[in-house]
A and B are shown apart, each in its own frame.
Chain A
Amino acid sequence: MAILEVSGLCKTYPGFTLDHVGFRVEPGSIMGLIGRNGAGKTTTLKSILNIVHPDAGSIRYFGLELIAREREIKQRIGYAGGAVDYYKRRKIADLLDVTASFYDSWDAAACRKYLDAFSLDTQKTPAQLSEGMRIKLNLTLALSHHAELLILDEPTSGLDPVSREELLEIFLALRDRGVAVLFSTHITADLEKCADGITYISRGKLLASESLPAFLARCAETGAGRNLDEIMVHFEKEDYRERLA
């Protein structure tokens, strides 16, 4: 059974339409959601978290409908939209205490383990942390209740190369423990290092959703490119010289 199954997801904003996007995330796998800026990645993630309301489509976690079983599902997933950007002036200890009270399966020992592993000082506030450390704090919050699926929106954007590498290692370690990870990014090199599958959205439409090796092989065969960077440029590049002429 897929841990997350999305089908026919549609959402229309003035000037933008997310058009029948669908994909599956299997347990213990890393799925990359790629597309250029404004392609619809964040709208997709917000839709699957019920932050925005899709016009159509089905979203099922663990075989359960999101809208009908939202509370139960959110006990089992974790979301980190990049760095912590809430309650930035409150102590991390307070933030952890409050967050813990909402989860039945909050594991204080696991939380302590992540805090130690990420060298997070609970007496500090998020405002006192670097971008990379705030992402790690978000991961701690998301993982301390034993989330089976971690959803991240552009977690590596704005990070230095070392922090990005560390974060990817964390994803791989989580995958080894059976946690599924869905993360959006436009930094394709990150995906080539860790993703099992890829969902590619272009201008609101689903271009591909399959295993990464199969996608790369198919694109190489058709001459679309040998790596994700080349493939994205192949599909997305617009001729601005002609437009501006």
Chain B
Amino acid sequence: MKDLLKKDLRLTVSPLTWFFLAAAGMTMLPGYPILVGAFFVCLGIFYTFQNAREANDTLYTVLLPVRKRDFVAAKYVLVCFFELLAFAGMALLTVLRMTLLANTAAYVQNALMNATPFYLAFVLLVFTAFNVCFLGGFFKTAYAFGRPFFAAAVLIFLLIALGEALHHFPGLAFLNTPGGERLGVQLAALAAAAGICAAGTALSCRVSMARFERIDL
């Protein structure tokens, strides 16, 4: 597994994947649907899969003395590694916005989603959608990634729309307070989203392993 991960980091990862990690910085933008930053992180990861396909990574790897299921698991670990990097950046910036910058006029008057634990929960849901739809779909063929990415993108934009809409619903305005209101509820939502992300990704990985064992390359 460690060797597979090293192989991916050294040979397969697209420079664009690293570049799109900077989209975590969109957490700081006022007047912008900041969840789109999570989508851009996923888009960056998509470029690594495109790179891998162009480089015949799958065939090269399955001919090495590795189990096919480890190949799949390594791809999931690689994706989670980038998602965790992005999430760590987003979480740091969220803390910054909720503390030192909580009273900044641009954030106080922001009509769109503010950076809060609830925002971070939705970031994790976006990553779950990507891991389930894109990765799960990709490993049906280990080749075709256009349709899985489209399906993931549709689901991600529905999640973004939902995230942006929720705080406008009666009684849910607290979700968008720059300084963080009813933090207990928001942190519980974040914990639930983390659980969904972990379970969804693990389940998707198991299904992908089974699918990849069956396909003819």
The residues in B between 167 and 217 inclusive whose CB is less than 8 angstroms from any CB of A are 214, 216-217
Q: Whole-angstrom distance between the alpha carbons of A174 and B214 in the complex?
A: 35
B63 at the interface (CB under 8 A from A): yes
Chain B residues within an 8 Å CB radius of A89: 55
Q: Per a CB cutoff under 8 Å, which of A49, A53, A75, A90 touches B214?
A: A53
Interface centre among A52, A102, A103 (most CB of B within 10 A): A102
* A79 in contact with B67 (CB, 8 Å): no
* B10 in contact with A94 (CB, 8 Å): yes
Q: Per a CB cutoff under 8 Å, which of B7, B60, B65 touches A103?
A: B65
Interface centre among A70, A79, A85, A87 (most CB of B within 10 A): A87
Number of A interface residues in the complex (CB < 8 A):
28
Q: Kindly provide the distance from the CB of B189 to the nearest chain A CB, expressed in whole angstroms.
A: 42
* A101 in contact with B216 (CB, 8 Å): no
B11 at the interface (CB under 8 A from A): yes
A95 at the interface (CB under 8 A from B): yes
A74 at the interface (CB under 8 A from B): yes
Q: Chain B interface: which size bin?
A: 20 to 34
Chain A residues within an 8 Å CB radius of B217: 46, 51-52
* B10 in contact with A88 (CB, 8 Å): no
Q: Whole-angstrom distance between the alpha carbons of A75 and B6 in the complex?
A: 19
Q: Per a CB cutoff under 8 Å, which of A46, A71, A81 touches B65?
A: A71
Q: Whole-angstrom distance between the alpha carbons of A87 and B60 in the complex?
A: 9
A117 at the interface (CB under 8 A from B): no
A86 at the interface (CB under 8 A from B): yes
Q: Whole-angstrom distance between the alpha carbons of A50 and B65 in the complex?
A: 12
Q: Whole-angstrom distance between the alpha carbons of A49 and B60 in the complex?
A: 12
* B11 in contact with A102 (CB, 8 Å): no
Nearest residue, chain B, Cβ from A53: B216
* B216 in contact with A95 (CB, 8 Å): no
* B67 in contact with A70 (CB, 8 Å): yes
Q: Whole-angstrom distance between the alpha carbons of A94 and B64 in the complex?
A: 16
Nearest residue, chain B, Cβ from A73: B65
Nearest residue, chain B, Cβ from A87: B55
Q: Kindly provide the distance from the CB of A12 to the nearest chain B CB, expressed in whole angstroms.
A: 11
Known contacts A51-B216, A86-B56, A86-B60, A101 near B7 by CB under 8 Å: yes
* A102 in contact with B56 (CB, 8 Å): no
Known contacts A52-B217, A87-B55, A101 near B3 by CB under 8 Å: yes
Nearest residue, chain A, Cβ from B67: A71
B residues near A, CB below 8 A? 3, 6-7, 10-11, 55-57, 59-60, 62-68, 214, 216-217
A residues near B, CB below 8 A? 46, 49-53, 70-75, 79, 81, 85-90, 94-95, 97-99, 101-103
A-B contact pairs, 30 of them (CB 8 A): A46-B217, A49-B63, A51-B62, A51-B63, A51-B216, A51-B217, A52-B217, A71-B65, A72-B65, A74-B63, A74-B64, A74-B66, A79-B63, A81-B59, A85-B56, A86-B56, A87-B11, A87-B57, A87-B60, A89-B55, A95-B11, A97-B10, A98-B7, A98-B10, A98-B11, A99-B64, A101-B3, A101-B7, A102-B7, A103-B65
